[in-house]
Structure 1
């Protein structure tokens, strides 16, 4: 159930007092409200049962209001009681009763918060469960000042929607309205957002609408939430365009709007939107963009939508009024792949299409490596060109993120295999690019802790299937070549895998890590201070490089980022008159700049060489 104001038929809410339970079950002959006995018991046993009344549109409504903090659930046609598809809180886990929660009861302190558009912001992605030893939202608040000192603008939380067990990435969530209770539950998320806003930090929340996890997903008990007319990597697709799709779409839209309205979240990152299979006249994303735009007008602050899309199509960020899907920004994996392949030399898997410096030049000026041409990895033509005049800040780029680290066979970060100079080069390419830069937690100090894939499923057969699937997944990716021998994939269900993935903050005090932290902070400061670096003007961005691969220059207006990829110093005539930043120093002589091997310098070129 929801406790916010919605247009859902049959649902009534009295914020701050009680709420009237309602559920959509269009083909049910009977629906009952189950109220477990003693508050907080977490058990369906000996629950009081109240028949619900059918209302318009396939909805059923209970005959009584529930006070805030009441456990409840629904049973369809005499079956077992199940959690509410719109459960606001799952304190007993994803299989237990739901609990009412009134978001309006929280005493917000962010009345002066003006909001922050994500375009051009410095974004910082973190996983609540491994960002701190405690693994809670409350513990994460204690480190927000570190992010402010770094220069972060937006904190992006990986999914917090309730998922099975205690530990997990969050992409197998099954309760789209509830905050994972081991993280602290809904009140903890409100406190986190309030604390972030007090420090001038916006909050982005990663949400998953393209599938639900395999354990605790009871939506099909209630109605046709899935369809076999479309397939996804997780099986049947969410029913966005078939019979009864209207209420399924409403569930997704209401969930998204709830995070923005009731939790004061500033942006949503939408997971793998290419798996939202929708042949409707108006795509779900366009409908969501329109609804979020209306809410932004209502609350008087910017609200952003960031899409993760594999389509390489700028229609994703084209306004709805111009025929696009209306996203504020989208991830650009091609930039990551080009940077990673350049710095590491890896060419396995999807890196096969990356590596040469001309590819790096392409993505830094045109965003997509695959913009209509042939992709060897996919075995077909892929993508479309980015139209001239598109703001580069509509594309989120990174050298590390949860996927690109966690989906490596060992979950190893670049810092485990790349020299400090290479890490410094990667940071400069991302933070001084014409795009919206994103960092992954710990990257800023060159964290050596791995970040691995982990789950916490209680069902032995499911846990074993995940183990086998994880091992099989890496069988043909060329990891033996990368790691120099056979690879033993970490057990996703092992406590040691979670423990190994937690940040080690003691690293920050070690000289080599402290130096890297200063480098990141300095680049962010420089990016803010130099209008040419803060700009998203792709037309004012150009590159040149050595055919032999020894050096590469990224020109951002009158600022040049000089990368020396080889081991020997390089001297270039750039008409440079000032060194703005340098990893290992740089010498100027009559407009010529000399940069040491395996290093990077940022210089002002005056004439915009």
Structure 2
């Protein structure tokens, strides 16, 4: 960019006072009004739509609004909204006594990610509750937690994707200091923090950004309305806004990675796409601090350009969520092939996902009604994040059913094995490790009655084609939220305790196995039998051969191997230790009978 680099926005406290930086390109006058005081701080107009001021008047704890040509609004780059999205902004000191200087972020290929929602993860619904569970996550085998969005959203309960103050840490979760404490505590447990950020839209309530400037453009449409303005007139301020936000999470909160929501909805025809600028901003911070940071995108385009380096005009993201692995896995496990699942055909597609990450690599998609996807050849396995469930795939079901409500315990263990034994980066969704019985439903806490009714109506419309007597839960109801809060006492009982023991052992297996630790899909050969619903995974590394057999059918299946060597059993989903009916014996011939919904791995002797 040819414009001056903007590192900081909003009100930043400094040793000699506070500095204010605001983008309002159409304003004629701008003042900062401190709540409860008559004094107004006059901002001076600068270049490219910016207004600046340095002052000794504003102090930490002061609440304020900006007054643009006589109208007062909260700061779009507010760092704290203690009274919610409609209240004033508050000056905060983002300095923190960090103790994580010796923490080293793992290589991306070593990540074991655990996605969680702060509000429903624990009964306290806040960062402190998550801090209290860090020893548990460490024992489970997790070394990275992915936190769903925490930018200030309306009310006290929301998935986080309705945020309207991207710089302000949600007040009901504990605010900015509490999030800093969580990051510092996580690092003390050798756990990285991946933060979900939303740069593709603002929520529908409390969005005051358009009063300041053209944050949106009518050039493009998105599922949420007008697109964020990354390439239209005055887009420089919007781009600066996003880049300053990226830098803030790394600098002020020591976040290790960003997961960028729905990157395919970032509409930008600039010579340098906003993702490329985010990559450059991140690279500059990495170089300056000599620390590792990662950028992971959610993207459903199967477009390798998102992962290609800047030198090839790619967006140079470090990793990508792979929904198609999930879709193929769910259908292979017996899930209904409806909606977007209709494009997936079970075993054959899952076999392809194991080998190529993408299922659609250029062939025709009936669901999308077009030829779709690109080849992933040459992209390392660590560039792809896979899962058997996540917040979207659970919460976007009408009743928010988890896998525990849809599949048998045997099948849940097999699905988990498919994810953990894949040549990709695995991710769990909170509670899946003990087969949690609580749903994860869609919930909001708006204050505008018309908006509340519109959300209710939209949710009902979304599921009217399901032709079911069940009704979609009311997103606004307190009970819809509280029903989703994890019940941690379940871990101590029966099948839940067995499933937790299974996940702990499975993650330890992943970490201790020299082949799986490579996260290298070039080591893998995949065979499948569609009629039997069986996949055979053969990993070869140096002089080692490891064979996995995954039976997704409802019947026992006889597997014939080309190799007649003897094999020692090293993993078995049917082990009685976690509720299975096995175990399967070691393999000393070319044939083996695998029980239904069972996965087993053998190491060649």
TM-score (norm 1): 0.93
1:475 aligns with 2:467: no
State how far apart, in whole Å, the 1-side matches of 2:9 and 2:157 are.
36
The verdict on how the C-alpha distance between 1:560 and 1:10 changes in structure 2, with shifts beyond 3 A counting, is: closer
- 1:519-545 deviation digits (Å, cap 9, x = unpaired): 112121111112221223222212222
1:505 aligned residue (465, 479, 488) = 488
Stretch of structure 1 that moved more, 264-273 or 503-512: 503-512
2:577 paired residue number: none
| 1:266-285 → structure 2 map (5 Å cutoff) | 266-285=256-275
Does the CA contact (< 8 Å) of 1:156 and 1:205 recur in 2? yes
SS of the residue corresponding to residue 531 of structure 1 reads coil
Does the CA contact (< 8 Å) of 1:50 and 1:63 recur in 2? no
| 1:21-420 → structure 2 map (5 Å cutoff) | 21-37=20-36, 48-62=39-53, 64-65=55-56, 66-79=58-71, 81-104=72-95, 106-387=96-377, 389-420=378-409
State how far apart, in whole Å, the 1-side matches of 2:566 and 2:383 are.
30
- 1:126-155 deviation digits (Å, cap 9, x = unpaired): 000000011000111111111111111110
State how far apart, in whole Å, the 1-side matches of 2:101 and 2:109 are.
23
- 1:181-223 deviation digits (Å, cap 9, x = unpaired): 0000000000000000000000000000000001111111111
Does the CA contact (< 8 Å) of 2:433 and 2:500 recur in 1? yes
- CA shift at 1:393, angstroms? 1.2
- 1:293-325 deviation digits (Å, cap 9, x = unpaired): 121122222100000011111211111123210
SS of the residue corresponding to residue 67 of structure 1 reads coil
SS of the residue corresponding to residue 108 of structure 2 reads coil
Stretch of structure 1 that moved more, 429-438 or 550-559: 550-559
- CA shift at 1:514, angstroms? 1.4
- 1:206-260 deviation digits (Å, cap 9, x = unpaired): 0000000011111111111111111111111111011111111010011011101
SS of the residue corresponding to residue 571 of structure 2 reads strand
1:569 aligns with 2:556: yes
The verdict on how the C-alpha distance between 1:13 and 1:450 changes in structure 2, with shifts beyond 3 A counting, is: closer
- CA shift at 1:569, angstroms? 3.1
Does the CA contact (< 8 Å) of 2:455 and 2:475 recur in 1? yes
- 1:549-573 deviation digits (Å, cap 9, x = unpaired): 3422222322222122234333434
State how far apart, in whole Å, the 2-side matches of 1:365 and 1:64 are.
59
- CA shift at 1:16, angstroms? 5.2
Stretch of structure 1 that moved more, 428-437 or 19-28: 19-28
SS of the residue corresponding to residue 214 of structure 2 reads coil
Does the CA contact (< 8 Å) of 1:9 and 1:56 recur in 2? no
SS of the residue corresponding to residue 351 of structure 2 reads helix
1:583 aligns with 2:573: yes
- 1:408-448 deviation digits (Å, cap 9, x = unpaired): 01100111121011001100000110111100000111111
State how far apart, in whole Å, the 2-side matches of 1:372 and 1:594 are.
36
1:461 aligned residue (445, 450, 459) = 450
The verdict on how the C-alpha distance between 1:117 and 1:588 changes in structure 2, with shifts beyond 3 A counting, is: closer
State how far apart, in whole Å, the 2-side matches of 1:321 and 1:454 are.
42
State how far apart, in whole Å, the 1-side matches of 2:429 and 2:476 are.
23
TM-score (norm 2): 0.93
Stretch of structure 1 that moved more, 317-326 or 263-272: 317-326
Does the CA contact (< 8 Å) of 1:17 and 1:68 recur in 2? no
The verdict on how the C-alpha distance between 1:576 and 1:299 changes in structure 2, with shifts beyond 3 A counting, is: farther
Does the CA contact (< 8 Å) of 2:228 and 2:266 recur in 1? yes
SS of the residue corresponding to residue 449 of structure 1 reads coil
Does the CA contact (< 8 Å) of 1:89 and 1:186 recur in 2? yes
Does the CA contact (< 8 Å) of 1:571 and 1:595 recur in 2? yes
2:499 paired residue number: 516
Does the CA contact (< 8 Å) of 2:17 and 2:55 recur in 1? no
State how far apart, in whole Å, the 1-side matches of 2:32 and 2:194 are.
35
The verdict on how the C-alpha distance between 1:294 and 1:112 changes in structure 2, with shifts beyond 3 A counting, is: same
Does the CA contact (< 8 Å) of 1:421 and 1:600 recur in 2? no
State how far apart, in whole Å, the 1-side matches of 2:38 and 2:401 are.
48
Stretch of structure 1 that moved more, 511-520 or 491-500: 511-520
State how far apart, in whole Å, the 2-side matches of 1:9 and 1:456 are.
31
Does the CA contact (< 8 Å) of 2:8 and 2:244 recur in 1? no
CA RMSD in angstroms comes to 1.8
Does the CA contact (< 8 Å) of 1:270 and 1:305 recur in 2? yes
- CA shift at 1:63, angstroms? 6.0
1:596 paired residue number: 595
SS of the residue corresponding to residue 296 of structure 2 reads strand
Does the CA contact (< 8 Å) of 2:456 and 2:474 recur in 1? yes
Does the CA contact (< 8 Å) of 1:9 and 1:57 recur in 2? no
Does the CA contact (< 8 Å) of 1:120 and 1:435 recur in 2? no
State how far apart, in whole Å, the 1-side matches of 2:130 and 2:188 are.
14
SS of the residue corresponding to residue 536 of structure 2 reads strand
1:18 aligns with 2:17: yes
1:43 paired residue number: none
Query: How many residue pairs end up in the alignment?
Result: 585
What are structure 2's unaligned runs of at least 5 residues?
575-582
State how far apart, in whole Å, the 2-side matches of 1:422 and 1:189 are.
37
- CA shift at 1:10, angstroms? 9.2
